[in-house]
C-alpha cells in the first residue's frame, strides 16, 4: 500500500493518518490469539499493572527465539500494508525499533499520561532525530468509553516539549507533557481529537505527536499493537544504561517489504 502525495501532505500537516479495515477479521483474530498465548509467559517482557496480575504491555513479539516470539507479529512488521506507508513517510528504508501491545481490560484498564514518544526515545535511547513512525493496529473496537487514544493534531511541529518525569501515576514510568503545558498548547491548537476505530484499523503517527488515553470505562477490552519503525539513518547513540533490544532495537537492520497479502501466508522462520 503506497501512500499518495495528498496523504503524505496530510501527515505532514496533522501528524497522523487513519486507515480503516487494513487487516482482515481472521488476521485480527490470529493476532489476538497470539497475545493470549504469550501473555501466559513469565518474563520481563510482560509488564503488569501495579499491584495486579493484569497485563499492561507485551514486548518482544517479533524476536525470533525469544520467550514472547510470535510468527504472526514477525510477519505483521514486514507486511506491505504496514511497512510500505512507513517507508513512504520517512522516505528511506527502516528498521524495527520495537513492537509492543498495550492492554486495557474492561472497566479498569489504566490510562496513559499526555506525552511525546520521541521525548522518551531521545532521553532513554539517544535517538538523534524524531525520524520514527508508529503504526497503531486496533485489535478491538476503540471508543472514547474504552480508553481510545487522543491526539493533538499538528503538535508534532512543536518539536520536543520540555518533558516532566512521572514514575508515580501508573505502573509505567514516562517522560510526560506537564499539565500547565498541555493547557497552554491545547489553548492555542484546539482540543485533542479521539482516535476511534474498528478492529483492523491502522493509524500512522509522528514520533513528536502529543497523545494520551484515559481509563477503559467500558465492559469490553481494548487491545492495541504499536509497531515503531526507525529510519536507517537515525542510528541510536550511546547511553549509560541501554534499554533491552526488545524496547529499543540498536541493530539498524533493513526490513524487507513482504508482498504476501495475509499473515497466514508467510512461512515459519527457522
**Average pLDDT of the chain, as a whole number:** 92
Share of the chain above pLDDT 90, in %: 76
Please determine, for residue 7, whether its predicted confidence score (pLDDT) is greater than 70: yes
Predicted confidence (pLDDT) per residue in 11-66, tens digit: 999 999 999 999 999 999 999 999 999 988 889 999 887 766 778 899 999 999 99
Q: What is the pLDDT of residue 264?
A: 63
Better pLDDT: 18 or 171: 18
| 265's grid cell | 501466508
Q: How far apart are CA 93 and CA 244, in angstroms?
A: 23
The sheet with strand 193-195 has its strands ordered as: 112-116, 210-213, 149-151, 193-195
Region of residue 176 (left: phi > 0; alpha: psi -120 to 50; beta: else): beta
State the pLDDT at residue 268.
Answer: 56
* Per-residue confidence (pLDDT) for residue 171, from 0 to 100: 62
pLDDT at 270: 46
**Annotated domain spans of the chain:** 5-249
User: Bigger pLDDT: 24 or 262?
Assistant: 24
Tell me if 208 sits within 8 A of 29, measured CB to CB. no
The set of residues, in sequence order, having a beta carbon less than 8 Å from that of 10 and lying 6+ positions away, is 17
Burial 26-40 (b: 16+ CB within 10 A, else e): ebbebbbebbeebee
Which class is 5-249 in CATH?
Answer: mainly beta
Q: For residue 252, what pLDDT is reported?
A: 86
Which residues lie closer than 8 Å to 187 by C-beta, 6 or more apart?
none
| pTM summary value | 0.93
**Average pLDDT value for residue range 84-112:** 91
Distance CA 157, CA 13 (A): 8
| Residue among 114, 138, 106, 113 at smallest CA distance from 226 | 138
- The dihedral region occupied by 37, where left means phi > 0, alpha psi between -120 and 50, and beta the remainder, is alpha
Over residues 115-128, the mean pLDDT reads 95
Does the structure show a pLDDT above 90 at 195? Answer: yes
Closest CA to 205 of 187, 235, 227, 179: 227
Amino acid at each position: 500500500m503506497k501512500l499518495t502525495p495528498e496523504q503524505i501532505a496530510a501527515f505532514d500537516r496533522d501528524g497522523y493518518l487513519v486507515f480503516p479495515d487494513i487487516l482482515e477479521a481472521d488476521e485480527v483474530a490470529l493476532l489476538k490469539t497470539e497475545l493470549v498465548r504469550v501473555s501466559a509467559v513469565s518474563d520481563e517482557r510482560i509488564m503488569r499493572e501495579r499491584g495486579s496480575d493484569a497485563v499492561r504491555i507485551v514486548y518482544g513479539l517479533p524476536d525470533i527465539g525469544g520467550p514472547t516470539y510470535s510468527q504472526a507479529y514477525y510477519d505483521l512488521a514486514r507486511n506491505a500494508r504496514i511497512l510500505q506507508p512507513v517507508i513512504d513517510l520517512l522516505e528511506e528504508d527502516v528498521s524495527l525499533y520495537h513492537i509492543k501491545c498495550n492492554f486495557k481490560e474492561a472497566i479498569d484498564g489504566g490510562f496513559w499520561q499526555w506525552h511525546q514518544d520521541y521525548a522518551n526515545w531521545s532521553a532513554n535511547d539517544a535517538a538523534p532525530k524524531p525520524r520514527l513512525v508508529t503504526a497503531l493496529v486496533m485489535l478491538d473496537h476503540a471508543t472514547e468509553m474504552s480508553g481510545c487514544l487522543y491526539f493533538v493534531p499538528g503538535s508534532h511541529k512543536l518539536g520536543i516539549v520540555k518533558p516532566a518525569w512521572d514514575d508515580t501515576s501508573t505502573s509505567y514510568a514516562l517522560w510526560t507533557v506537564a499539565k500547565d503545558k498541555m493547557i497552554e498548547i491545547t489553548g492555542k491548537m484546539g482540543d485533542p481529537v479521539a482516535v476511534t476505530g474498528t478492529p483492523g484499523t491502522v493509524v500512522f503517527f509522528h514520533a513528536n505527536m502529543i497523545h494520551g488515553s484515559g481509563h477503559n470505562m467500558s465492559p469490553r477490552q481494548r487491545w492495541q499493537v504499536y509497531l515503531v519503525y526507525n529510519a536507517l539513518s537515525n542510528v541510536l547513540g550511546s547511553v549509560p544504561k541501554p534499554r533491552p533490544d526488545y524496547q529499543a532495537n540498536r541493530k539498524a537492520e533493513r526490513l524487507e517489504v513482504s508482498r504476501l497479502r495475509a499473515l497466514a501466508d508467510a512461512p515459519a522462520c527457522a
